[in-house]
Amino acid sequence: MAPEPMVSIGFIAKRTGNAVSLIRYYANEGLIPSVRTNGGNRAFPRSVIRRVSFILIAQNMGYSLAEIKSLLSTLPDNRTPTQADWAKLSTVFNQHIEAKIAALTSLKTSLEGCIGCGCLSLDRCRLYNTDDKVAARGSGAQLLDENVQSQFLVSHKK
């Protein structure tokens, strides 16, 4: 197979709509592969554009760079990903998207039946209080941590 054309960091930046500093940052973090020219500049296979696109999409979905790195680890670093490589990643990722959709749908239902109803007898509100489900094993509510938050992908918390 013909070797993939190598491109500069500026090309990747322009094509993905990002700053050069971001591409360099991703390269340093090991999120995208690169080689060096004789002079020491980075050179990327064109397919890195696709990889960056994936990173941006996953970030928008709430994944941290660490999680994305892990997701991307199914792609090979030492050669351009093949159709099968991307398909494999895609299958996994699709499941994450579906899980997110399911979580949002469930949240929507909850909100419609709870906040939406305006049930201010707080002791009965499922969002506020899950005594009916967890009282037996604790002292109160904490529904968010246990039921809702875990269905999402990212917590933004340390």
Partner DNA sequence: GCTTGATCTAAAGTTAGCTTTAGATATTAA
Partner DNA sequence: TTAATATCTAAAGCTAACTTTAGATCAAGC
Binding site residues, DNA, CB under 7 A: 8-11, 13, 18-22, 24-25, 37-42, 59, 64-66, 156-158
Exposed/middle/buried for 58, CB within 10 Å: 0-12, 13-18, 19+?
A: buried
* Biggest alpha carbon–alpha carbon distance for the chain: 71
Which of 112, 124, 132, 133 is the binder for its own copies (CB under 8 A)? Answer: 112
Given candidates 59, 69, 71, 74, which one binds its own copies under the rule CB under 8 A?
59
Q: Taking the complex as a whole, how short is the minimal distance between the CB of residue 38 and its own copies, in angstroms?
A: 26
Residue 77 binds which entry of its own copies, DNA, none, CB below 5-8 Å type-dependent: none
For residue 149, state whether it binds its own copies (rule: CB under 8 A).
yes
* Sequential DSSP letters for 107-143: HHHHHHHTTTTT---GGG-TTT--HHHHGGGSSS--H
Nearest to 80 by CA among 14, 32, 26: 32
> Residue 153 belongs to what H/E stretch?
none
* Among 97, 103, 23, CA closest to 57: 97
Position 94 contacts its own copies (CB under 8 A): yes
Binding positions for its own copies, rule: CB under 8 A? 14-17, 46-47, 49-50, 53-54, 56-57, 59-62, 80-87, 89-91, 93-94, 97-98, 100-101, 104-105, 107-108, 111-112, 115-120, 122, 125, 127-129, 139-146, 148-149, 152, 154-156
